[in-house]
Amino acid sequence: MQSAPLLRIGTRGSMLALAQAQLVQRLLSEAHGVPREAIEIRVITTSGDRLTDRPLSEAGGKGLFSKEIEAALEAGEVDLGVHSSKDLASFLPDGLVLAAFLEREDVRDAFVSLKYRSLEALPQGARLGSSSIRRAAQMLRARPDLEIVPFRGNVDTRLNKLAAGVADATLLAAAGLNRLGKADKVTAYLDPLTFLPAPAQGAIGIEIRADDARTAGLVGVLNHARTATAIAAERALLATLDGSCRTPIGAFTELNGVSCRLTAEILSPDGREFHRDSVEGAAGDAARLGRELGQRLLAAAGPEFQRQFKG
């Protein structure tokens, strides 16, 4: 008779999501001295996976890649959800918590092109493929001449679109390319202080039920403290800004010993208007620093700027 699994992981079915779930599976098996097959991976199709005909920002924004996994958690069908932290909604459902973060991967965005060596080398009026309104806004701020073309899909789909000539270049998260063994596709890396990444980009988050002490104990050994500090700052910022897929927000955390410096910006979708600021303080105050910076950015932007993201 087959024994019950030690843990059940809920994940999306994309190659990147599976790679991340398998990494968590391996780390848990090593940490607890059990075979990998004792930790089950269950693939869950999310709203974001089903939505292929329009940008995510038009269909509810953040949370589209997590809410079905969260529903399975709430129903007790899985014990933990493994997520790309940048895809999580600003506020988790009641009763769910982020219990651990793996050590953060490269936070930078990668410039990928088969024809041009850098953003600066793109010719006037070149087509840049992206369905991220943050990346589009940052690119238009730097290069208002560019034409932004829709570019939904997983990493391979986007690379295939690039090869088919749908766009002259695209931007992808360096972390995802690294986890898929495709770092060789990177043409150039963007400076993360010039082009601030998405809040929580590059961090794998493990979500569990808040009252599940057993799972908390099992996954807690995987938590990377410095990553948890950085994500606490960036998610507090996001929550204060009420960030969604319709709000272009960039953030970058620098940790130096016991200090934390958070830099963030909010932009108009066309990149013409943006507000940027930084805060610095004790790493133990990361969440407070995130809230403080979010409030400062909202005050600087004013109600007229904020109104364009409502509705």
List active site positions.
Answer: 87
Q: Return the beta strands (E) in 210-293 as ranges.
A: 249-256, 259-267, 274-282
Q: CA 84, CA 301: separation in Å to the nearest integer? A: 29
Contact 215, 79 (CB under 8 A): yes
Contact 109, 195 (CB under 8 A): yes
Q: CA 133, CA 157: separation in Å to the nearest integer? A: 19
Q: Are strands 39-43 and 7-11 parallel, antiparallel or unpaired?
A: parallel
The three-class DSSP label of residue 57 is: helix
Residues with Cβ within 8 Å of 276's Cβ and at least 6 positions away in sequence, in order, are 263, 264, 265, 297
At which residue do the structure tokens 């730097």 appear?
142
Residues in the chain: 311
